[in-house]
Amino acid sequence: MLLLAVLWLSYANGSNDNFKAVATIYGSSTLSYRAALVLATAVQLAGSVASIFLAGMLLEAFSGRWLLADTVVADERFLLAVGAAAAATVLLATRLGMPVSTTHALIGGLVGASLAFFPAEIRWSGLGDRFLVPLLVVPVLATAGAAIIYPAARGARRRLGVNEVTCLCVGEEYEPVQVGTDGAMVVARTGLRLTAAQAVQCRRLYAGRVVGVSAQRVVDGLHLVSGAALGFARGLNDTPKILALLVAARWSGLDLRSGLGLVAVAMALGGVLGSRRIAATLGKRITEMNRGQGLVANVVASVLVICASVMGTPVSTTHVSTGAIFGIGLWTGRAHFNVVAQIIAAWVATGPLALLLGYAAGTALLIT
């Protein structure tokens, strides 16, 4: 039952988190949904495998020993309640299309199950220093970082003579379009006016060359690399958090590498089958963005998550990636604050809901 709970949590994590690395790639129309999903799944699997070598400190951080004594944490019923509570919380959020933090869900489940099983053994001092501070500070850093770096990157792009143009996409061809004073769009080469249906196919692209290479190809290439880096970082950061439930149980029925493989595959499966609603929220609903803006958001998020993983700091990839996208929207003035408010409400509710579910599951397991 503990193994099933861990796999369920892995699936839930993948369905809610897997697409976050490529949300800007999909939202800026750099790749289609399916192509972006393939990229996200591949790099997540690579990050999951690498996590056993590069992020071992997170195994200890999420084993629960910072909250309870070692002998208490190894209770498999306790760990079952934690895993089930976190998985149920994340799956509910995914169903609603809300990107939430598996980290928060795990912490809530840990505290709730601890209240049910060992309320007198809880070490409350470890909660704030090791988890709440990085979880609250890092999203702010991501938002501020994107809002600060984007105008600097835009200024550098303009100094290189790379200008943004609006183009009508006709198959693989791009026809430059001019916008008249009346708001009508006209194809620059022919002077033909576009209909409303044709205007939907217009994209903002970069004209010019950088070191002899098309500026658009450079931006797209870097954007894909940044998405791959963020997806790798997500697998690196999240896999140890989930695997820690099996490690804490000191279960001899499954070695560490086998457990890692099962968690990684379940995460990938969840991403493949359950990412579409999260993709719509992160890629389209928070803000409109072009490819350069998406690149900046991904670079900021990937750097923060990779640094946190190597340092053993349990940050939320959800909060980091969402914060970076929101930072772009703040600068461009295109942020949809009603959507952001819904997401923040889901973040606030994640911990308490997981706590209640962890307490209820723990109580039920004690009775049985």
Mean pLDDT calculated for residue range 224-253: 78
pLDDT tens-place string over residues 29-87: 889 999 999 999 999 999 888 877 765 555 555 555 555 655 566 678 888 999 999 99
Which of the pair, 244 or 272, is modelled with greater confidence? 272
**What is the predicted pLDDT for the residue at 189?**
65
Shared domain for 202 and 100, answered yes or no, is no
Shared domain for 236 and 191, answered yes or no, is no
Report the C-alpha gap between 321 and 362 in whole angstroms: 32
Three-state SS at 207: strand
Shared domain for 263 and 320, answered yes or no, is yes
Sequence-separated (6 or more) residues with CB below 8 Å from residue 320? 138, 139, 142, 301, 304, 305
Shared domain for 180 and 103, answered yes or no, is no
Token pair 């992160």: residue = 282
Rounded to the nearest 10 degrees, the angle between the axes of helix 102-117 and helix 76-95 is 140
Shared domain for 246 and 109, answered yes or no, is yes
**What is the predicted pLDDT for the residue at 66?**
56
Provide the pLDDT confidence category of residue 209 given band limits of 50, 70 and 90: confident
Which of the pair, 273 or 247, is modelled with greater confidence? 273
**What is the predicted pLDDT for the residue at 276?**
93
Three-state SS at 98: coil
Report the C-alpha gap between 339 and 342 in whole angstroms: 5
- Give 18's Cβ-side CA count (13 Å radius): 35
Query: Minimal CA–CA distance to 244: which of 88, 112, 109, 44?
Result: 109
Given a cut of 90, is residue 94 above it in pLDDT? yes
Mean pLDDT calculated for residue range 104-119: 88
Report the C-alpha gap between 344 and 13 in whole angstroms: 18
**What is the predicted pLDDT for the residue at 258?**
77
Mean pLDDT calculated for residue range 164-178: 66
Shared domain for 193 and 295, answered yes or no, is no
Shared domain for 195 and 296, answered yes or no, is no
Given a contact cutoff of 8 angstroms between Cβ atoms, the answer to whether 279 and 23 are in contact is: yes
Sign of CA dihedral 310, 313, 316, 322: negative
Containing structural domain, residue 192: 165-207
Given a cut of 80, is residue 11 above it in pLDDT? yes
**What is the predicted pLDDT for the residue at 355?**
94
pLDDT tens-place string over residues 280-327: 999 999 998 888 899 999 889 888 877 776 676 667 778 888 999 999
Sequence-separated (6 or more) residues with CB below 8 Å from residue 325? 23, 24, 27, 146, 282, 286, 287, 289, 297
Q: Can you list the alpha helix ranges (DSSP code H) found in 75-132?
A: 76-95, 102-117, 125-127
Mean pLDDT calculated for residue range 149-166: 82
**What is the predicted pLDDT for the residue at 360?**
96
Mean pLDDT calculated for residue range 228-243: 82
Shared domain for 268 and 123, answered yes or no, is yes
Shared domain for 141 and 222, answered yes or no, is yes
135-149, 180-194, 285-299, 349-363: the lowest-pLDDT one: 180-194
Given a contact cutoff of 8 angstroms between Cβ atoms, the answer to whether 41 and 273 are in contact is: no
Shared domain for 112 and 170, answered yes or no, is no
Average pLDDT, the chain: 82
Query: Minimal CA–CA distance to 29: which of 274, 299, 260, 284?
Result: 284
Provide the pLDDT confidence category of residue 202 given band limits of 50, 70 and 90: low
pTM of the full predicted structure?
A: 0.81
Domain total of the chain: 2
3 state SS for 12-78: HHHHHHHHHHHHHHHHCCCCCHHHHHHHHHHHHHHHHHHHHHHCHHHHHHCCCCCCCCHHHHCCHHH
Given a cut of 60, is residue 26 above it in pLDDT? yes
Shared domain for 200 and 224, answered yes or no, is no
Mean pLDDT calculated for residue range 145-159: 88
Shared domain for 199 and 262, answered yes or no, is no
Report the C-alpha gap between 67 and 197 in whole angstroms: 58
Given a cut of 80, is residue 106 above it in pLDDT? yes
